[in-house]
Amino acid sequence: DASALPFEADNSVSCRLKSQIPDICRTEDCCLGIDEAGRGPVLGPMVYGICFCPISRKEELKDLKVADSKTLTEAEREALFEKMDEAKSYVGWALQVLSPNTISNSMLQRTKYNLNALSHDTAIGLVQHALDCGVQLKEVFVDTVGPADKYEDKLSKIFPGIAVTVRPKADSLFPIVSAASICAKVARDFAVKHWRFGEDLGEVDADYGSGYPSDPKTKAWLLRYLDPVFGYPQLVRFSWSTAQTLMDSRGVTVHWDDDDDDEDGEKAAQRRNNRSMLSYFSAAAGGGSQSGSNQTHRFFSDRKLKSLDTL
């Protein structure tokens, strides 16, 4: 299955999925399209896709009736993906599945790595993957992220000798980009629909709505599965403003002591009659004996975290 196995095993990390490289793509000049699915939703991965075929046969993609994935139903997308798989003698594809965890950690790390930069680097990595596999690329068509002219110039400098075309709505202009769009969307839909929750949430309501922040059903799901201390399941992009706003309003307030404050964190916590964060890590190495009300929270056990008193 296009979108299964590696990501299902561990959906907290990103992975690459790919088809076999058609022999003809190693001997004939080829074109390649790039598109993504799931840039805007607060739930689930973002998937970047490439599709490639010989330039001499790109008109045959039109015969497959590929179109912008957003204009197709889920059933139509899956049927077209199967048709492309049947055309594997001359059509190849690869996908980069970026987990919600990867996206949020990138955006919130100390050195900011925004979604546009992540998108550019992912697209560049997929083009390089095709080249490394021996695909004879001569033309690349890309659905733009950010200003099209700057992105086109950037890609042209990285891949000299390849004619790069970057356009808004490229998925509706170039069949090879439409094909990449379908691959990416089918993979994302599968990942969200068959999401394996690592957290102990019991019977999870899988009716997330569209996954977009403006969808009332999605917002209701976020509220239902918001842990006031540890936040959201890893299906959620916690860097999205919708998720952050709900966490700020419904989560437990955390008091942060300024670095220049003379009072250390433990003393400040005692003064406010709160527990210091350090107190959660003061048990004997290995977690000590835990019983009754002092059971390890699933946040730590899910991540195989244990308390240490020496390093």
Binding site per annotation, positions for a divalent metal cation = 35-36, 143
**What one-letter code names the amino acid at 292?**
G
Per the CB < 8 A criterion, the answer to whether 93 and 19 are in contact is yes
Kindly write down the DSSP assignment for every residue of 231-257, as one continuous string: B--TTB-TTSHHHHHHHHHHSPP----
d(CA 210, CA 108): 24
| CB environment 5-14: b (16+ within 10 A), e (fewer) | eebeeebeeb
In angstroms, the CA 102 to CA 38 distance is 14
Binding site as annotated, residues: 35-36, 143
Distance of CA 264 to the CA centre of its chain: 39
Beta strand 46-54 with 163-167 is unpaired
Strands 137-143 and 30-37 come out as parallel
Contacts of 5 (CB under 8 A, 6+ apart): none
Report the candidate in 30, 147, 51 with the shortest Cα–Cα distance to residue 94. 51
> Which residue pairs from 101-106 have beta carbons closer than 8 angstroms and sit at least 24 positions apart in sequence?
101/12, 101/13, 101/234, 102/13, 102/14, 103/45, 103/46, 103/237, 103/239, 104/237, 104/238, 104/239, 104/240
Strand 137-143 to strand 163-167: parallel, antiparallel, or no bridges (unpaired)?
parallel
Structure tokens belonging to residue 241 = 């403003």
